[in-house]
Amino acid sequence: MSQLTVNGRPLVLAFPATVLDLLDHLDFDSEKVAVELNGAIVPQGDFDDTELNRSDCLEIVQFVGGG
């Protein structure tokens, strides 16, 4: 287990883990979010291949549809 910072809050997550694993853990739809990892945007196509490390800092923004 390691601690990440997600949207300014600490989060403990089992490792190894990818960005997609984190999104699944948090119940986010990977098609409807933008993720910044340590200051760099992670392309949606790379969520499953981007490994997380101890002490990573992530910002996750969820898109909401309007009507």
Q: Give the pLDDT of the chain (67 residues) as one tens digit per residue.
A: 779 999 999 999 999 999 999 999 999 999 999 999 999 999 999 999 999 998 999 999 998 876 5
Q: Which two tokens stand for residue 29?
A: 């739809």
Residue 67 lies in a domain: no
Give the integer Cα–Cα distance in Å for 54 and 16. 10
Q: Which residues contact 59 (CB under 8 A, 6 or more apart)?
A: 6, 7, 35, 36
8 part of a folded domain: yes
Q: Is the pTM of this model over 0.85?
A: yes
The count of domains in the chain is 1
Residue 44 lies in a domain: yes
Judge whether 28 lies within some domain. yes
CA dihedral 33, 41, 60, 11 (to 10 degrees): 140
Check if the beta carbon of residue 64 is closer than 8 Å to that of residue 29: no
CATH code: domain of residue 57: 3.10.20.30
Residue 55: give the domain boundaries: 2-62
